[in-house]
């Protein structure tokens, strides 16, 4: 069975010893472009800079979003090739698990773990759910057999119809008598995935989704943690701190886990559905679940990270974010409390292709860090790619940071 001590535990001991915590060591330098892009030769560096420059044009990413998907789906000659050699190359690990192995190995060589996420979306048919289930099992098996892969991702809407999760969102679910056949099948499938994770030593990450299905997801996640997180962390749920009710939820869920004697494991994120949430609340005339402003989201996110740090012996927390300030805050708190950098219950994660300055500098500093690695055929991951491109359109703030760093590294290399 694989050691579930977090990504750092998966790498050779000599490497870890070199990076062992040292009170004198300063925090990572996230502006170090030489280290950030050391895996890119000059040609690839120039290509990546070109890609991020192109993504800086909002009209182009909008065009990509509508036309790009259509042309690939129509099978227009060259369309798939074009996507594969641009956005796909940057943000996706490979079309299959076997193909993703190169990207996994590249990350592993720099002390970064991988969490595998099959990128297909929206297969709202029984056959689509069966295929998603089989792929989750395959990814979990693969993660168990590959030392540098710490786990697999499950989006519950790929296994249980969205409308079923929505219908029971206000109900307290009785897991001994689930009220709908699709819920029963979905939960059985999830149990098979988690059982495999527990037996073979790999983690299962449950993504958070829209608020009107999230209570169903939370109940299923807690049920699974109750069953599979007894001896170690197998199931990780997700908490979205852009919701104003999530910090109290996180604390209550932790206390339930403590009372019932299982380990609470979660990734904390800010949240990805803000516009959709606001629009729905307005259309239907109920108060938005989203925080009143960005500052409140930052405040609760940092408070959640601090709470998990304080309770690190009972909570395994993966800080899933590209926000440098939040990461630095947590690193400073760890340093102040003299907590080992590779503490197994404190982890960091970023999406593949984004914020390499955070990932690689954290790994270099000896922290537990991983990449969420989406993989899958070009057609299947297109909506994901369009979202990544749209996130990178802004040339100011966090999103434009990648381009500025690429430019800086090109200058440093004299390119
Ligand atoms: C490894 C990983 C896993 C993820 N898994 C999930 C998941 O399971 N579910 C999910 O929903 N998302 C997930 N995300 C996406 C995540 O929720 C964020 O959308 C994304 O990471 C941007 O937030 P940030 O912390 O990186 O940085 P920042 O760029 O600092 O924060 C941007 C975020 O702040 C929030 N925000 C922006 N403006 C406002 C405002 N006016 N008021 C209130 N809040 C505001 C929004 O959430 C926005 O996405 C994941 C991200 C990563 C890196």
Pocket test for ligand 1, best of 154, 241, 269 (most atoms within 8 A of CB): 269
pLDDT score, position 390: 73
Q: Which atom of ligand 1 is nearest to 206's Cα? A: 8
Prediction pTM value: 0.92
Look up the CATH number of the domain holding residue 135: 3.20.20.220
pLDDT score, position 218: 98
Pocket flag, ligand 1, residue 217 (CB < 6 Å) = no
Q: Give the helix ranges, DSSP H, for 285-370.
A: 294-310, 324-336, 356-364
Q: What is the pLDDT of residues 72-107, one digit of tens each?
A: 677 766 777 877 888 888 899 999 999 999 999 999
CA–CA dist 242, 270 (Å, integer): 5
Q: Domain for residue 382, yes or no?
A: no
Spacing, Cα 301 to ligand 1 middle (Å): 10
Of 391, 245, 387, 241, the closest CA to residue 317 belongs to 241
Spacing, Cα 148 to ligand 1 middle (Å): 25
Pocket flag, ligand 1, residue 370 (CB < 6 Å) = no
Torsion of CA 95, 86, 352, 327, to 10 degrees: -170
Pocket flag, ligand 1, residue 291 (CB < 6 Å) = yes
Spacing, Cα 365 to ligand 1 middle (Å): 24
Pocket flag, ligand 1, residue 349 (CB < 6 Å) = yes
Q: Domain for residue 68, yes or no?
A: no
Spacing, Cα 131 to ligand 1 middle (Å): 28
pLDDT score, position 6: 55
pLDDT score, position 7: 53
Helices (H) and strands (E) in the chain, counts: 19, 8
Cβ pair 210, 273 in contact under 8 A: yes
Q: Domain for residue 389, yes or no?
A: no
| Torsion sign, CA atoms 123, 65, 139, 179 | negative
pLDDT score, position 229: 97
DSSP structure class, residue 174: -
Which residues of the chain carry a pLDDT beneath 70?
A: 1-25, 61, 64-69, 72, 76-77, 122, 393-399
pLDDT score, position 379: 83
Pocket flag, ligand 1, residue 289 (CB < 6 Å) = no
Cβ pair 153, 116 in contact under 8 A: yes
Q: Domain for residue 336, yes or no?
A: yes
Q: Domain for residue 397, yes or no?
A: no
pLDDT score, position 397: 53
Spacing, Cα 15 to ligand 1 middle (Å): 32
pLDDT score, position 14: 39
Full residue range of the structural domain in which residue 187 is found: 7-19+28-39+93-375
pLDDT score, position 327: 97
Q: How many domains does the chain have?
A: 1
pLDDT score, position 59: 74
pLDDT score, position 5: 53
Q: What is the pLDDT of residues 242-299, one digit of tens each?
A: 999 999 999 999 999 999 999 999 999 999 999 999 999 999 999 999 999 999 999 9
CA–CA dist 21, 39 (Å, integer): 25
Pocket flag, ligand 1, residue 322 (CB < 6 Å) = yes
Of 331, 258, 246, 336, the closest CA to residue 289 belongs to 246
Q: Domain for residue 82, yes or no?
A: no
């Amino acid at each position: 069975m694989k050691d579930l001590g977090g990504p750092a535990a998966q790498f050779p001991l000599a490497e870890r010893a070199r990076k062992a915590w040292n009170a004198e060591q300063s925090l990572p330098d996230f502006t170090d472009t030489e280290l950030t892009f050391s895996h890119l030769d000059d040609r690839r560096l120039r290509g990546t800079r070109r890609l991020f420059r192109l993504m800086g044009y909002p009209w182009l990413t909008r065009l990509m979003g509508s036309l790009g998907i259509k042309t690939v789906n129509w099978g227009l000659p060259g369309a798939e090739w074009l996507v594969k050699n641009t956005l796909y190359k940057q943000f996706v690990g490979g079309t299959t698990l076997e193909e993703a192995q190169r990207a996994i190995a590249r990350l592993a060589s720099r002390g970064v773990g991988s969490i595998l996420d099959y990128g297909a979306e929206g297969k709202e048919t029984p056959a689509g759910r069966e295929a998603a289930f089989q792929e989750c099992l395959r990814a979990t098996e693969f993660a168990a057999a590959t030392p540098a892969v710490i786990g697999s991702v499950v989006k519950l809407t790929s296994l249980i119809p969205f409308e079923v999760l929505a219908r029971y969102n206000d109900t307290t679910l009785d897991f001994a008598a689930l009220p709908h056949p699709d819920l029963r099948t979905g939960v059985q499938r999830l149990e098979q995935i988690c059982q495999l994770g527990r037996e073979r030593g790999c983690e299962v990450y449950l993504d958070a989704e829209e608020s009107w299905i999230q209570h169903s997801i939370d109940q299923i996640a807690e049920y699974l943690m109750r069953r599979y997180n007894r001896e170690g962390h197998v199931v990780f749920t997700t908490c979205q701190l852009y919701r104003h009710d999530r910090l109290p939820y996180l604390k209550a869920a932790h206390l339930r886990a403590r009372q019932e004697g299982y380990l609470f494991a979660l990734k904390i994120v800010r949240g990805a559905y803000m516009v959709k949430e606001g629009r729905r609340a307005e259309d239907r005339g109920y108060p938005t679940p989203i925080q009143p402003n960005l500052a409140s989201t930052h405040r609760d996110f940092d408070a959640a990270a601090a709470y998990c740090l304080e309770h690190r012996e009972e909570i395994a927390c993966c800080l899933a974010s590209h926000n440098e300030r939040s990461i630095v805050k947590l690193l400073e708190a760890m340093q102040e409390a003299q907590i080992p950098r590779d503490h197994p219950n404190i982890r960091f994660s970023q999406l593949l292709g984004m914020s390499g300055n955070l990932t690689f500098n954290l790994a270099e500093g000896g922290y537990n860090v991983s990449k969420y690695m989406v993989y899958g055929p070009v057609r299947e991951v297109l909506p994901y790619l369009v979202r990544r491109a749209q996130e990178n359109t802004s040339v100011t703030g966090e999103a434009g940071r990648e381009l500025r760093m690429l430019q800086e590294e090109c200058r440093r290399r004299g390119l």
